[in-house]
Structure formats: structure tokens, C-alpha cells
Amino acid sequence: MLSRSRWLCWNLGAIQLGNSPVGKTRAQGQPVPLSAPPPAGKRLSQKPRGSGAGARGSPPPAAFCRPAFLQLTPEELRRADDHTGRAVQSPRDGRRRLPWSTGYAEVINAGKSQHNEDQACCEVVFVEQRPSPRGWLSSREGSGEKGFYFHYWALFDGHAGSGAAVMASERLHLHICEQLRELVEILQDPSPPPICLPHDTQAGSADPNQMSNAEDRGEVLNDAVPRFHLEKAVSHESLVIGAIENAFKHMDEQIERERASQHLPGGCCALAAIYLMGKFYVANAGDSRAIIIRNGEIIPMSREFTPETERQRLQFLALLRPELLGKEFTHLEFPRRIQPKELGKKMLYRDQNMNGWAYKKIEEDDLKFPLIFGEGKKARMMATIGVTRGLGDHDLKVFSSNIHIKPFLSCFPEVRVYDLTQYEHCPDDVLVLGTDGLWDVTNDKEVAGVVMEVLTSYEPNDPCRYTMVAQELVVRSRGVLKERGWRLANDKLGSGDDISVFVIPLGGPGNYT
Amino acid sequence: MLSRSRWLCWNLGAIQLGNSPVGKTRAQGQPVPLSAPPPAGKRLSQKPRGSGAGARGSPPPAAFCRPAFLQLTPEELRRADDHTGRAVQSPRDGRRRLPWSTGYAEVINAGKSQHNEDQACCEVVFVEQRPSPRGWLSSREGSGEKGFYFHYWALFDGHAGSGAAVMASERLHLHICEQLRELVEILQDPSPPPICLPHDTQAGSADPNQMSNAEDRGEVLNDAVPRFHLEKAVSHESLVIGAIENAFKHMDEQIERERASQHLPGGCCALAAIYLMGKFYVANAGDSRAIIIRNGEIIPMSREFTPETERQRLQFLALLRPELLGKEFTHLEFPRRIQPKELGKKMLYRDQNMNGWAYKKIEEDDLKFPLIFGEGKKARMMATIGVTRGLGDHDLKVFSSNIHIKPFLSCFPEVRVYDLTQYEHCPDDVLVLGTDGLWDVTNDKEVAGVVMEVLTSYEPNDPCRYTMVAQELVVRSRGVLKERGWRLANDKLGSGDDISVFVIPLGGPGNYT
């Protein structure tokens, strides 16, 4: 996603921006060894995630790995890794491999990076209540397992190496599980979540009948009833959102901790859909996108986080922490780079408070490179990166400088909620997740058109139909190889990026189980 | 708007929060002497703004003033100032006084402050091009005046004294005019605005035929044509938005400069609608609201800025500049105040990155008062103020402390644009501006219902009909005085706040002139 084409070619005075050495010299595609113990949680419908080229324990350097659910043979893996053929990959037995008959398809880029830097994951995860330190629960519930399942689909669009994307695709759902373990009892209780929990207990393990002292007992028994002059009600849904947000943070921290020992270069955008207790939680950090198509209507389930959409947050941080700019950047935005000879003239600018533009007299400080620069897909932060949220990138610096990008990148997702129970869905209603390779050339309306067109050509109870949609979306965005490169049906350039798509039926056979 | 009822009654350890002395002890309602020269600009349809109780040159202390266009007699002014009668005020001769037959009505609060702290302004302003320092324009255009008009309607909802609101109602449009003077030529030229202007010239006075040297000439002649690898296109609309944003900033700076000499206590929310070259620009800083009602459809033209809606911006600033919290506040949000005895327990919280909630173990630092606290109309920042954008408030501090509120308050508005030329409006289509006194008890849909109900009972070409709508909106939000206070038709409590409403026809007789 942040390929060489995403790096700005520009002479930046002392910084000497150019094609990034990060993208060129770092080993790419190295899968993450599983030596570090994963957080607690159970994965269902899961086989050891393999590269297809061998076990993951001691992978060869720069091994190429694809999602385990694809179950690629060595020969298929070679085909998937072929930039010239760009064969579309889908689960071989889509009928059984993915829950809810989910459709999935992917294709490698046209040569912008050595391997496909997208990764994907689809799991059903059991969240088991954490054992109480005082053993309350075992005495209360006997030896029965207490918990719930969530369904999980996620896409990771890697850049500057695939280590972060691979690790995130293997671990993010486990971090979500870990956060939810604290909440098992609370989420299963229809009464409002308690504001405060007693000493030494974990969220979800507060059993008033087992309290050791009166104060704790009083606290928990009554806490759902507001006793304070001002007390905010917090919903169960807010707790799940908070759990997902903190799971992203912990995932990012794990990548930071293990990046040296596990060789985790680069970073990745992350888009995850979690189905839990009747609701979809769609969490997005980066420029992937999710939409629901329901009865032909498009419902956006995410927004993209780029230097343009997050300009004011980034400028605000730069204004308050100018030392992060290393004397090389200005927090102001200008429509183009200023020439030294233009000193004293008036130029259009905008700062962190403005959405409009105004003229200002150019001063010495304005000759620095703007923090945000460029438009659309070419917009960059610090002339380096085209997305502003995601996981990893802890070592990413402005080229030939000691200026770190990370303080400006946020690992926190925006989480949107869709209540599946509020509407009776038919088998043609779907949630589509796609990396930017899809959306760069195919807009929401076109995607909805393809979805409807393909679905009507299959029986409503045919579980293959969602895979067919995913494949068609990928093929139409990739295009066909002609003399002048990959071309769409309208002869425009197809996407040269990695493309990955999930098509999740909202009312198909076997859902909600 | 920030009345005593808006101040949190709470014991805050060392801070000893309580009813604010600001709202109680400072003189209220003192009009601003016009001694400070206003910025350039011409006001049409304008009479000297009077209090009705005498000329404004040397007002008596604590004089009560209402908008000039109301032309209240001393007797009418006394009635307008009567908290028990709460008589609705409208321009006496609505047919001619306000442009576009705009309707206006207001009513004083039910006793929460001594006088009506809302202010209003309605003007038609001529923006005259600033004379060139080199005299180019006079030689080019002869002695003819060069410029354009804009229409202007604004509401100011004052708190903790009326000085800021009165001054803003007298000056904000002049600051907008001042900003637009720079842009007269550029906005009248259909080609894209130049990115860069030559040395020593003001925006809008760059006449290439009069350039003094070749470099300047080349710059201006070619600047609209992108010559750089990456150059952002900036629209005329963006320049107007930038001008309005900076006008708010300059207005705020003027209040700061003159607050001591001109006696300008308090602050105010500001909502302004500017009609310029076929478009409405609606600028909002605070919790007033604007909606368009078009063919029965509601189009929101603003959003409110409160501790709840701006939580993340405020928490982010507090996190990066903890010294602004004076060791009394924590940037974390909790659902209620934490008791010291709860140390070590787990409590729900959220920080600047989160939209959801999670549990954290309570530490010593969490016992500080939360930066954001309370819900809905009771939400407060630093236990002090219920709005987070507006003008003034430079002396506002947390009660009995030296902690300033201002760094968290932003004077910048959000500007939304509505293109009047994109739709053929009928006489029943209107833009409604109202202070929170209206919206606290009457929602968008109810306002739209009243608009349609009243308009249908008058002839479409009756210019009084918009005043009738404004009056009806005010009456229905105030309610009727009964034994148990001011009551609405449904017997709920009416608004005890000041209420001010503009109803601007979008397709009425005489518009766009």
C-alpha cells in the first residue's frame, strides 16, 4: 500500500527525499515465527497458518505467505505470486471453509512490491471468561465453560515489508478476544454495565454473593443504579467498542515490542468486522473500506484515514509538539512547495483551525516542507506516507533524517456499529470489505452494481455465490492485461495494487450461528 | 447561555466549585462605546445602534440594549426587559426593516440573568476593494467604486455578561468585510484564485499590467496555471470560508485587546449567515443552530460545539499540554466523580483516542476532576462552561483558581455552504437561525412543522409571514406562564433561556438583491 509509488519524489533541501530505502532494502514478506506466545483465546475452524511453502516455525528468509484459509499448494502459491499472470485466488472449497459462506478473493499487485502485501483472516473465536483470582466463578458455575463466540473477518494492507501485516493477521483477533474476556459476564447481563468494579477483581468476575467485605458488596450490588448527582450511562455496545479500540493498541504495542526479534518490518492498515451478539462492529484504521449493500442501498461502514482526512489532527499535534517536526517541516499547509525567491510574497495557506484558505506573507519558516502535502492518492504526511492510521511503522522515518513518523500515525480504529436485528435481511444483502486496491478504481456504486448483478445469476441458497461476487470484484478492479498494461472494461488503467475482498452475506444460509 | 444554571454546583477539592462569581458579580448588559474605530466597510440599511434608552456614545452603566433594527421605544425596551411578562419582540415594521423580508423575534429569559444576553445583527454590507498602495486601481478603474455586497444575519448568545455579545454583534460583519476586501478582484474573476501574489501587493490588487518587474509579472500572469509537479487547486468558495474563519479570529482578538478599556465581560456563541454571490455561508461557533427547511425537508446547516461533541479535541490538547490543567483536572473521562476510597478499584474511562469505554484500575491521578464531565445540557468543560467555541471569555477561569478556560475554547467557526442557485426555491423555503433557547425545547422537526403551518396561513407574497413564523417559534418555545412556571402546550417546561430566531426566506419576494 505504501509502495515506491506512494513515496514522494521531491528534493527537500537537507532531507533529500526520494524513493524510500525502506521499501527497497528491507526484507519483505517474511512471515512471523510463532515463538512469542499468543494471548489467550481459542480459534475455531482453524488450521496452522502456513505459507504453503513449508511450516511456519523456521521460515526461509523472504518466504511468501498467504492466508491459511486459502490452503494453497506450493504450485498454487507460485501462481499467486506471479505479477504477470495476476491469477485471482479464492478458498478452494468456499462452501465449507469460511463461516456464513463468506466470499473471498485476492490478487497480487502488478509489480509494485515483490509479494502480495495484503493479508486476510477469517475466524470464529470463543471468548472464555477469565478465571477469577479468588476462584469465585468455578464455585458458582461449576466446571462449565462460560463465554461466547464472535465471528471475525479482517484485511491487512501492508507497506514497506509484510511483517506487520502478517503478524496482525495472526494476532489481532486474539487481542480482541483478550479484551473481551474481561467483559464476559457483563455483556451477558442485560442490566447496565457497572460503572465501578471492586478491588482486585477483573471486569466480569464481580459476583456480589462472593464479596469479601461489605463495601465491595454495596458497590457492586447498587452500581447499576445511579447514586450520584451526575452519572453517565454506558452501554454494552460502548464496552465492545472500547475493547476493540484497546485491542488495536495492544496489537500495535506487540509489534513494537517484537519487531526486532521477530523481524517485523513495515506497517499495515487494518480493517476488521466483528459479529457479536447480533451486531456488526466494523473497525477501520487506514484506507481500506467497508460498505453494506442492503436492498440495493449503500451504507458506508468506515471512512478512510489519510493526510487529507486527518489534516487537522496532524496539524494540531505538530503545532503543540513542534519538536516532532525536526526543523524540517511546517505545520501549515500550502497548495504547493514555496520557492526561496518567493519570500515576502503572499501565498495561500491553511492552519489547523481552518477549513478554508487565506493569503499570508511568506516568511522564512514557511520555506520548510509542509507537514501535509499533495492531493487525493498522492497526499503525503511528511512527504513519506499516504495513510495516517494503522499498525506497525515504529521504525519509519523521513528519508535520510531522524524524524519519526509514528507519533503522527495513530493505531486507533474508528468503530462503526450495525445492528443486524433491526432489519430483516435477504440473501442479497452483504457487507463488503476491500483494501484500497479495490476502491481506487471501483466506487461504492459500481461495487453495489457488481454485487447485485452477480448474485442474481446464482440461486439464493447457493453458498458459492458470495465467492463469485468477490472474484468478480477483484477481476473488474484488476482489469485485463493488454499492450498498455492492465486495463478495465472502459479502457482506463486497472488497479496495479494488491486487491483483497471479503463479501459477507447478512441474510444468507447458516448465518448467526 | 452560560447562566448560573450552566455552572456546575460541585465540591471540587481544592477548587471549591460552586456558582460562578463571574455570572453574579460582573456588571451585565453594558453596551460597548464606539470609541474604538471600526474596521473599514459600509453598512447599509443601518441606523445608529441604540439602546432605545438614549444615544450609545455615553451609555449609563449597565444599560440594557437590544438590536438596533428593533427600534424599541423606551417603553418597549422596558417591556422587553420584563422577566415576568416575557413579551415577544419583533421589528415594528418588518415589511421594510430587514432585507429579504426576513422574520425576527426574541424574548428575554425567565430570570436566569438580569437582561437578555442574546444579541442579533442583520446588515447589507458593501465590500470596497482596498486601495492599492501603488495607486494601480485608481488609474485602471478611474474613480468608480469596485466591490460587491454581502447580506448578513447573525445571532450572539452571551454568557457571564453581555459585553462580548454586544461588541461582536456590532463588529463581526465589519471584520468579515475587512477580510473580503483583500479578495474583491479575485472573487470577481472566474479563473481560479492565484496561489501566490507578488511582493508588496494585497490579495485582489494584483494587476499584471502594472507590475514593476518581470518576475512579479510572470508570477501573476501564469500562477493560475499549475506549473508545479504537485499543486492544489483552491476554490473561490474556500477563500470565502477562510475569510470568515479569520474574521472570527480577529473579532476574538479585538475583544481580547479591548476587554479592559471597553468593559467587555463574558463571552458569546456566534452564529452567522452570509449570503454572497449566490451562496449561503453559515458559520457557527457555539451551540446555536441553523437549519434549512426546503420543500418540507430539513437540511442541517450547523452543528453544536459542546464538551461532548468536542471531547476528543479537548482531551488531546489536555494530554499534550497537561500544564493547562493546573494539577486539578485529568484529561481522562469517567462516568462520574471518583471517590478517594475507590482507589485501586476498576472504573470505566475513555481517553482522547477512544469512542468506546473500558475499565481501568483507579490511580491517584484519576481522583482529579475530569476535564469533561456530565451529559447533554449538563455537560461541562473543567466544571465551568457548557460550550467549547465562541468569542470572548479571555478572563474566564475555573472558580477560585488560576486555571484559564480560554486555551480550550476555540473562536473558530465551522462554515457550511449552501448554493442557492442549485435549486429553485419557493417562498416557503427558509433558513432558520436560533439560539439554544429555541432548540432546547423544540427540535428540528417541530420547527419545520411550525414553519409550514404558519406560512400556509399567509399569502405567499405577504412579507409579514416570516416575522409571524419567528414569533410563533419563540412563543411555542417560551410557552405560557402558569402556576408551575412557563409551560408548553404539552405541559412540559418551556425554555427559561433567552430565545432569538431569524427566519430567512430563500425564495421570497425581493431576494438576491
Asked which of A311-325, A362-376, B13-27 is least confident by mean pLDDT, the reply is: B13-27
Query: Residue B58's pLDDT is what?
Result: 40
Pairs of residues, one from chain A and one from chain B, whose beta carbons lie less than 8 Å apart: 174
Distance (Å, rounded) from C-alpha A301 to C-alpha B70?
A: 49
Instruction: Calculate mean pLDDT across residues A353-381.
Output: 94
* Contact yes or no for A345 and B197 at CB 8 A: yes
Cβ pair A156, A120 in contact under 8 A: yes
Nearest-by-CA chain B residue for A239: B357
* Contact yes or no for B375 and A232 at CB 8 A: yes
Across chain A, mean pLDDT equals 82
Instruction: Calculate mean pLDDT across residues A304-323.
Output: 96
Query: Residue A130's pLDDT is what?
Result: 81
Beta strands in B235-317, from DSSP E residues, in sequence order: 267-276, 279-285, 289-294, 297-300
| ipTM attached to this prediction | 0.84
Query: Residue A22's pLDDT is what?
Result: 28
Scan for cell 485491542, then name that residue.
A247
- Rounded to 5 degrees, φ, ψ at B439 are -75, -20
Altogether, the residues listed in chain A come to a count of: 513
Which one, of B251, B320, B231, B357, lies nearest residue B38 by Cα? B251
Instruction: Determine the 3-state secondary structure of A282 from DSSP.
Output: strand
**Burial code of B465-476, b = ≥16 C-beta within 10 A, e = fewer?**
bbbbbbbbbbbb
- Rounded to 5 degrees, φ, ψ at B482 are -120, -170
> From the CA of A466, how many Å to the nearest CA of chain B?
32
Cβ pair B473, B503 in contact under 8 A: yes
Percent of chain A with pLDDT over 90: 67
Instruction: Determine the 3-state secondary structure of A173 from DSSP.
Output: helix
CA angle B162, B163, B165 (to 5 degrees): 65
Instruction: Calculate mean pLDDT across residues A236-243.
Output: 98
Query: Residue B226's pLDDT is what?
Result: 43
Q: What is the DSSP string of A43-94?
A: EES------SSS-SSSPPTT-----GGG---HHHHHHHT-TTT---B--TTH
DSSP class of residue A478 equals H
Query: Residue A312's pLDDT is what?
Result: 95
* Contact yes or no for B353 and A321 at CB 8 A: no
* Contact yes or no for A201 and B240 at CB 8 A: no
DSSP class of residue A111 equals S
Cell of B116: 437578555
Distance (Å, rounded) from C-alpha B5 to C-alpha B185?
A: 49
List per-residue pLDDT tens for chain B, 513 residues long.
333 333 222 222 222 222 332 222 222 333 333 234 444 444 343 333 434 333 334 443 335 789 989 988 888 899 999 999 999 999 986 546 799 999 999 999 999 999 999 999 999 999 998 876 554 444 444 445 689 999 999 999 999 988 999 999 999 999 999 999 999 999 999 999 999 997 655 554 444 333 334 344 333 334 444 444 578 889 999 999 999 999 999 999 999 999 888 888 899 999 999 999 999 999 999 999 999 999 999 999 999 999 999 999 999 999 999 999 998 999 999 999 899 999 999 999 999 999 999 999 999 999 999 999 988 888 999 999 999 999 999 999 999 899 999 999 999 999 999 999 999 999 999 999 999 999 999 999 999 999 999 999 999 888 899 999 999 999 999 999 998 899 999 999 999 999 999 999 998 545 544
Query: Residue A202's pLDDT is what?
Result: 53
Banded model confidence at residue A318, pLDDT cuts 50, 70, 90: very high
pTM for the full model? 0.84
> From the CA of A98, how many Å to the nearest CA of chain B?
29
* Contact yes or no for B345 and A195 at CB 8 A: no
Query: Residue A11's pLDDT is what?
Result: 26
Nearest to A336 among B232, B240, B415 (CB): B232
Cβ pair A179, A130 in contact under 8 A: no
In chain A, count of helices (H) and strands (E)? 12, 21
Give tens-digit pLDDT for A207-231: 433 333 434 433 333 444 444 456 8
Query: Residue B507's pLDDT is what?
Result: 87
> From the CA of A351, how many Å to the nearest CA of chain B?
10
Distance (Å, rounded) from C-alpha B138 to C-alpha B361?
A: 71
**Burial code of B257-293, b = ≥16 C-beta within 10 A, e = fewer?**
ebbeebbbbbbbbbbbbbbbeebbbbbbbbbbbbbbb
Name the pairing type of β-strands A369-370 and A329-330.
parallel
- Any bridge partners for residue B505, and if so which? B430
Query: Residue A291's pLDDT is what?
Result: 98
Distance (Å, rounded) from C-alpha A265 to C-alpha A159?
A: 9
Give tens-digit pLDDT for A71-114: 888 888 999 999 999 999 999 865 467 999 999 999 999 999 99
Nearest to A355 among B215, B321, B415 (CB): B415
Scan for cell 504537485, then name that residue.
B230
Distance (Å, rounded) from C-alpha A387 to C-alpha A307?
A: 6
Cα separations (Å) of B148 from A182, A194, B140, B179?
64, 61, 18, 13
Distance (Å, rounded) from C-alpha A359 to C-alpha B439?
A: 37
Nearest-by-CA chain B residue for A351: B242
Nearest-by-CA chain B residue for A196: B347
Choose, out of A227, A253, A355, the residue to mutate when testing the contact with B (most B CBs < 10 Å).
Answer: A355
* Contact yes or no for A336 and B179 at CB 8 A: no
Instruction: Determine the 3-state secondary structure of B398 from DSSP.
Output: coil
Distance (Å, rounded) from C-alpha A75 to C-alpha A89?
A: 13
Q: Which helix (H) or strand (E) holds A125?
A: strand A118-128
Nearest to A243 among B358, B412, B415 (CB): B358
Query: Residue B375's pLDDT is what?
Result: 87
Query: Residue A264's pLDDT is what?
Result: 82
Banded model confidence at residue A35, pLDDT cuts 50, 70, 90: very low
Choose, out of A180, A183, A184, A232, the residue to mutate when testing the contact with B (most B CBs < 10 Å).
Answer: A232
Query: Residue B63's pLDDT is what?
Result: 58
Distance (Å, rounded) from C-alpha A308 to C-alpha A369?
A: 16
Cell of A316: 494540531
Give tens-digit pLDDT for A379-415: 999 999 999 999 999 999 999 899 999 999 999 999 9
A251: which chain B residues are within 8 Å (Cβ-Cβ)? none
Cβ pair B416, B279 in contact under 8 A: no
Beta strands in A286-412, from DSSP E residues, in sequence order: 289-294, 297-300, 329-330, 346-349, 358-361, 369-370, 372-373, 380-381, 391-392
